[in-house]
Amino acid sequence: MEFFNFHTHQFTNQPNVLELVNQYPNEFDDSIPFYSIGIHPWYIKEDQIEEYLKIIEEKLQTQNCLAIGECGLDKRIEIPFEQQIIVFEKQLALAEKYKKPVVIHCVAAFQEVIAVKKKMKISVPMIIHGFSKNSQIANQLITAGFYLSFGKYLLRNPDLKPVFENIPNDRFFLETDTIEEGIQQVYNVASEYKNITIKELQGIISSNFNNVFQGKNLEHETI
């Protein structure tokens, strides 16, 4: 594979792109080759949590499930924050049990996410998807052991350029999430901001993929 799309909600089946497609327990599509699965904080429903956790645990034991998530914390929604933390922590416990990385949705709750990671002594990689904040928050997350994934805001917000330029090369991924642009366009902007070639960028992402996903043999899919 030439490109790795760390987080997307749409499987495009391009031969040169390895896509980590976000799936939900109640809307699972087993035709998608590689995916993450989790309870998004937006969609927490108390009477379904345990049922969904059982589905997630079942899928985490399969080769095609590369990560848990997206899951996390969001202070700008009506779901009670304490309930969000409980559901987040239950999913992190599963990530630790099955040694899977975690795709994290975080809105206005970075300190809380850092605190949960520290409290639970999480050892698996945790990746903040769709990062759009300043260098101070980025540095706090990097110092706490997180990876950061960039996509939509890298294309839309020029102010993110100096933030991205200073992210260590061994701590980032690229994604499309829900935007119409392809992952190649995100790579183009990222290589420009980092002042490196696409080939060099592909090497960086490939190395990060192998570190986070422990070099899993994805039926000879390589990036």
The pLDDT of residue 219 is above 50: no
In a domain, 221, yes or no: no
In a domain, 16, yes or no: yes
Domain that holds residue 157: 8-212
Predicted TM-score (pTM) of this structure: 0.95
In a domain, 218, yes or no: no
In a domain, 207, yes or no: yes
Helix 81-98 with 49-60: angle, nearest 10 deg = 20
We report the CATH number of the domain holding residue 46 as 3.20.20.140
CA dist list (Å): 6 to 93, 147, 186, 187: 22, 11, 11, 12
Q: Cβ contacts of residue 203 below 8 Å, gap of 6+? A: none
Site of tokens 């937006």: 42
What is the structure's pLDDT at 221?
A: 52
Residue 107 near residue 73, CB atoms below 8 Å: yes
In a domain, 174, yes or no: yes
What is the structure's pLDDT at 214?
A: 82
Q: How many domains does the chain have?
A: 1
pLDDT band at 220 (very low <50, low <70, confident <90, very high): very low
